[in-house]
Amino acid sequence: MKNCFLIKSWLIISLALLYTATVSVDEVYAGLKLDSTVKERRPLLPDSLTLKNSPPPEILTPRRFATTPDDELIGEKKIEHLVKANENLMELARVYGLGFNEIALANHGVDPWEPKPGTKLTVSSVRILPGLDEQADIIINIPEMRLYHRWQTGWIDTYAIGVGREGFATPTGDTSLVSKRALPSWYVPKSIRLEKPELPAVVLPGPENPLGSHALYLAMRGYLLHGTNQPFGIGRRVSHGCIRLYPEDVKTFFANAKIGSKVRLVHEPVKAGWRSDKLFIEVYPIFAEEVGANREAKLSALATSVVGKALERRPDLVVQVDWSEVDRFVNKPDGVPHQIGWVVSE
């Protein structure tokens, strides 16, 4: 049975608050993962919710969005954040309810750990909905590292997540939510105990429990949606396949998610969707182990297919698509919706 697990070095570093790393945004593009060889340049406080100069996160980024049947995007807000002294992208991601991947991709070329004060960061809460071909109560888009919860008619909650690392990829498929538990104990899988025999058979609730404060169990045996005691893993590939949420997000998700909810785990690095008569595209990198050096070619073919399906959803419209713009975002994914098409006649 698979479960989520952080390697011992990360646990020790987190407890000591000495987690140090260097990584370029290019490395994030290459595989959307940071492993134990990565070193940051200065300490991070993984449990800090806000930065000294920033307002509370609930003011900055709503997690809940109204939807309408003919709008395939959610959110309206695209803002700029002016970097202040001692801020970094990992902490800002949490303040804005983003995963580290999202803020790094949207701000290519910015040093994630020591961005220059005065740098303008793009922060967007506008997103194309995934899983448009078949709806579910909960849709998890693995390459986007984001969960969408349609918990009430007309409303969707969305949360940044962490997913399985290379070799332990989070699977795709249809499943359901079978149970949920506050203050869960972690029953360490035998495979992990063989790898790390110093671990106990059971980790009780508390600050050292990697499941955090709440866990939701899938019918897909061995896979959970849960909180975390390592918030810096959100928007990164760090787990043994489980899906983790920020501590503040898992509480809301836990309260609203119903047992029996249909769950779909999808792999959609390219999304295309309509807002009124405008067509948008949103692109994320494909995981490195899936395509090797052919990332752009696979993304390009996928983008052509995804845009084609979007056009099929509006057969009554005559649409002009700017394929040069499609190519631009395929070659440089940034995880932000961009208009690529518009109606020329009806």
Structure confidence at residue 260 as a pLDDT band (50, 70, 90) = very high
The pTM of the full predicted model, rounded to 2 decimals, is 0.83
Write phi, then psi, for 127 (nearest 5 degrees): -145, 145
Catalytic residue among 81, 242, 267, 338: 242
pLDDT tens for each residue of 102-128: 999 999 999 999 999 999 999 999 999
Is 226 known to be catalytic? yes
Domains plus CATH for the chain?
Answer: 9-61+76-126 (3.10.350.10), 128-266 (2.40.440.10), 270-345 (no CATH)
Catalytic residue among 81, 149, 226, 240: 226
Q: Is pLDDT above 60 for 23?
A: no
Is 149 known to be catalytic? no
Average pLDDT over residues 301-312: 96
Structure confidence at residue 146 as a pLDDT band (50, 70, 90) = very high
**CB 156, CB 142: distance < 8 Å:** no
**CB 344, CB 319: distance < 8 Å:** yes
Q: Is pLDDT above 60 for 44?
A: no
